[in-house]
Structure 1
Amino acid sequence: MRILVITPWYPTIASPIAGVFVQRDTELISSSHEVELVHLVDPALLRTADLEADATSTFPVHRVPMSRSRPGDLLSAWRRIRTLSPGFDLVHTHAFQSLLPFQGHRMAKPWVHSEHWSGIGDPTSLTDRGRLVLRLTGRLLRRPDVVTAVSSHLLTQVQRFRTGPTMIVPSVVREAMPVPIVRDASVLRLVAVGHLVKGKDPMLAVRTVQELRRRGVPTTLDWVGEGPLRSQIEDLTAGDDGITLHGSLDADGVSAALSSADVFLLPTRGETLCLSAIEAISHGRPVVLGAFGGQSDYVTEQNGRLVAPRTPEAYADALLDVSEHLDQMDPEAVAATIRERFSESAVLRGYEAAFEQAMSMHRKGAR
């Protein structure tokens, strides 16, 4: 089958980790189908080097500049999609913003949409303008034949906008090689992977470390990720050698950071799935996360704790609970709790089921 993938999230030279999960999923789909990808890219992120790099991609990539603040860009994007789509059997869009060019236009091909956007999962996280735009455009989720969501939490939110077929298809998480935790009885080593933004709440992570130390538990924190709160965190942790901001790291750097820690901590305010936590579990490291979001699908007593109260005391309690049970949390057993759910074979089966349902609806003339 020939599939045209359309996404606003995809890696660029300027933003190399943006949409990496879409890239992984598309590479997976391309192992069984003929795929081309349309990246509806923010013009500010597009570089000539991106076009050069695309020449080595395993599937053709079309970079289409699209700024949501310029209505003309939406029309240009639609024209490009309309030109390309006749050569394909099915259209597969990713993330809500990819639906915007379709407004007011008919898509005659079988259509699967995969939702990842946190704005759907938690509209309260949006600005007033963002919530207004979502109220006006949310009905676009009715248009595709089938909509997949990466978690049950997100699926419930998607179903507020549509009554048509929906299903859960998570993102691929590449299998890691869990290594034993080399315990140092003198310190609790924490690691976090995420942007330094309000939604991940790095300030609460720092206050949690301070609370643990106040209780007499020497604790370190290595934070992998960059963001606008960096200067505030640096001010809060000035002179603290036990809290390290590593900035952005490549996949090997992230893997090394996870493997060097005892526990993964992310006091997130909400997630559609939280791939960084899944990657931590795949490395055999238990996680302590905020309770709101898709992480409730896979965090269990065997691999972590979910924390509802947004206080350093509550997070410190959870971390101490996990720390006391680390000897019973064999890294291989921790990793096994999520291995099949996020494996390439399971994700591909999910996508194949969505594709077949969309194709079947068209064969039966359901549209």
Structure 2
Amino acid sequence: MTKLSNHTTRCSRDRSGWTTLAPGWRPAPSIVERGRAPDRRRCPAARLRRGEYMGREARGGRTPRRVVVLTTWFPSDDRPTQAPFNLRHAEAIGDVAEVRVLHVRFGATGRAADEVYHGVRVRRLPLSARHPLTALATLAAVRRAVRSSDVVHTMAFSSIGVLLAAAPFGRTPWVHTEHWSGVAHPEYVSPRWRRLAWLRGVLRAPARLTAVSRQLADVLVRFSSAERVSVVPCVVENPEPVSAPPASPPLELVSVGGIVEGKQPLVAVRTLRWLADQGVDARLTWVGDGPMRAEMEREAGDLQVADRVRITGFVDPDDVFGYYARARVFFGPTRSETFFAAAAEALSAGRPVVAADVGGFTDYVSEANGVIVDELSPASFGSGILLAAERFEDVPPERIATPIRSRFSRSAIAGSFDAVYRAAEADPAAPYAFRLLAVGRSRRPA
């Protein structure tokens, strides 16, 4: 390393994996994305002096707040579409704290691996019942990380169980973010999960809970209390400029998501058939893939609309925005959603949304930017699509996009998490296991 001056700061990692500070040195390359030159601006001490870390300043301002994100859902090079919303949240947290991610991979074997993924430090940890020694090592690594952090932030419901197994008597302020629709609607997941839905009681353990929509927050309140539950939406950062929609006909539609039962791909195909019967030349691009792809393609063939359906397969999350720009209306026939990131992304591109009244996205979808239908039927969806195409034909796409880009910006979400961390740090430091009994024990969740 190259010595600069007594006013610069070195950033390296201590045994627990966090950055340590010492006078007189340039930031260590290990804290920046691989392949890039060391950047003094990313040094925690320098960022603190510039006021980029908000939370720790309220407690004396000596070092940035250390947040460890523990999650069982996180994207990787081999699975880039797994929970990209967790990556976006981690990036936002990194704007107000020093963050690192522990990604616990159920069923994985081998050794722990460190990497920088999209600028975020990530440790991939295997956890398999078939390899008990490796599992114990993973739990020990989680326990050490929790003890050395200022805040532990779990994301994904299953991550709660991992933290309770690793550190049942931990006292580090704990925040949990929930995205999963299975918490709100166990009946939509599987008969097995519906029988096991009582396990949602572990949501009592975190000091603070955040939900990505008001609908999900109302469910979380059953397991905690209203003052401990906050709404912190997903981050929607659209790098593309807002553009005019394509001319019609044909009426270009886009759907984004897995080709799975809950997204109702067959209803999407039947809606195209309904539109064709009304004399409307509509085309659907489905961005995604899944186990029902062959069935969807057969349905399109049987209904003689195969030439109107295009399935892209899996697409990198950063490349999805181009598909919104090439459509006129976003069509989401989904059966249930908590936030519906794809709908928010479509709005950020200036495209109106058509969906049913079945999720938390009604927080931000209204008559000003979309059409919410009452029934999950082809006729209802088709009528909504025609209404949206007519209603927003002369509406500038910037009028739809600008409010969404501001409301769900990375900086807005970072500020919300900072406020939640402050509240969690102010709570009494009770052991996690004790909270399972102390919080909401008079309630029996539905």
Partner of 1:40: 104
Offset, 1:59: 3.8
Equivalent residue of 2:421, what SS?
helix
Partner of 1:359: 425
Unaligned runs of 5+ in 2: 1-64, 436-446
Counterparts in 2 of 1:73 and 1:228: CA distance versus 1, 3 Å: farther
Large movers: runs of 4+ above 6 Å: 68-74, 363-367
Q: 1:205 aligns with which of 268, 273, 278?
A: 268
Once residues 14 and 42 of structure 1 are traced to their aligned partners in structure 2, the CA distance between those partners, rounded to angstroms, is 15
Unaligned runs of 5+ in 1: none
Offset, 1:76: 5.1
Are the aligned partners of 1:139 and 1:162 in contact in 2 as well (CA < 8 Å)? no
Is 1:303 matched up with 2:369? yes
Are the aligned partners of 1:302 and 1:337 in contact in 2 as well (CA < 8 Å)? no
Partner of 2:121: 60
Offset, 1:51: 3.9
Once residues 196 and 233 of structure 2 are traced to their aligned partners in structure 1, the CA distance between those partners, rounded to angstroms, is 26
Cα deviation digits, residues 305-355 of structure 1 (max 9, x gap):
112311101011111111111223211001123222211121111101110
Partner of 2:345: 279
Tell me the TM-score normalized by structure 2.
0.76
Counterparts in 2 of 1:73 and 1:357: CA distance versus 1, 3 Å: farther
Offset, 1:29: 1.1
Are the aligned partners of 2:80 and 2:317 in contact in 1 as well (CA < 8 Å)? no
Once residues 343 and 298 of structure 1 are traced to their aligned partners in structure 2, the CA distance between those partners, rounded to angstroms, is 14
Offset, 1:254: 1.6
Once residues 283 and 68 of structure 1 are traced to their aligned partners in structure 2, the CA distance between those partners, rounded to angstroms, is 44
Offset, 1:71: 8.6
Tell me the TM-score normalized by structure 1.
0.91
Once residues 342 and 56 of structure 1 are traced to their aligned partners in structure 2, the CA distance between those partners, rounded to angstroms, is 22
Is 1:85 matched up with 2:149? no
RMSD: 2.5
Q: Percent identity?
A: 35
Cα deviation digits, residues 182-237 of structure 1 (max 9, x gap):
322x3211111110001110100110011011011111111000000000011122
Q: 1:160 aligns with which of 199, 218, 222?
A: 222
Once residues 58 and 343 of structure 1 are traced to their aligned partners in structure 2, the CA distance between those partners, rounded to angstroms, is 18
Is 1:345 matched up with 2:411? yes
Equivalent residue of 2:372, what SS?
strand
Offset, 1:82: 1.1
Offset, 1:68: 8.1
Once residues 14 and 43 of structure 1 are traced to their aligned partners in structure 2, the CA distance between those partners, rounded to angstroms, is 15
Which deviates more from structure 2 when the two are superposed, residues 243-252 or residues 2-11? 243-252
Q: 2:292 aligns with which of 197, 204, 229?
A: 229
Partner of 1:217: 280
Once residues 125 and 357 of structure 1 are traced to their aligned partners in structure 2, the CA distance between those partners, rounded to angstroms, is 33
Cα deviation digits, residues 254-306 of structure 1 (max 9, x gap):
22211111100010000010001110000000010121111110001111111
Are the aligned partners of 2:74 and 2:84 in contact in 1 as well (CA < 8 Å)? yes
Partner of 1:16: 80
Amino acid at match of 2:210: T
Counterparts in 2 of 1:72 and 1:128: CA distance versus 1, 3 Å: farther
Amino acid at match of 1:207: R
Partner of 2:391: 325
Offset, 1:151: 0.2
Which deviates more from structure 2 when the two are superposed, residues 335-344 or residues 209-218? 335-344
Is 1:108 matched up with 2:171? yes
Is 1:150 matched up with 2:212? yes
Once residues 332 and 271 of structure 2 are traced to their aligned partners in structure 1, the CA distance between those partners, rounded to angstroms, is 11
Amino acid at match of 1:235: R
Counterparts in 2 of 1:353 and 1:11: CA distance versus 1, 3 Å: same
Offset, 1:43: 3.3
Counterparts in 2 of 1:347 and 1:199: CA distance versus 1, 3 Å: same
Amino acid at match of 1:92: H
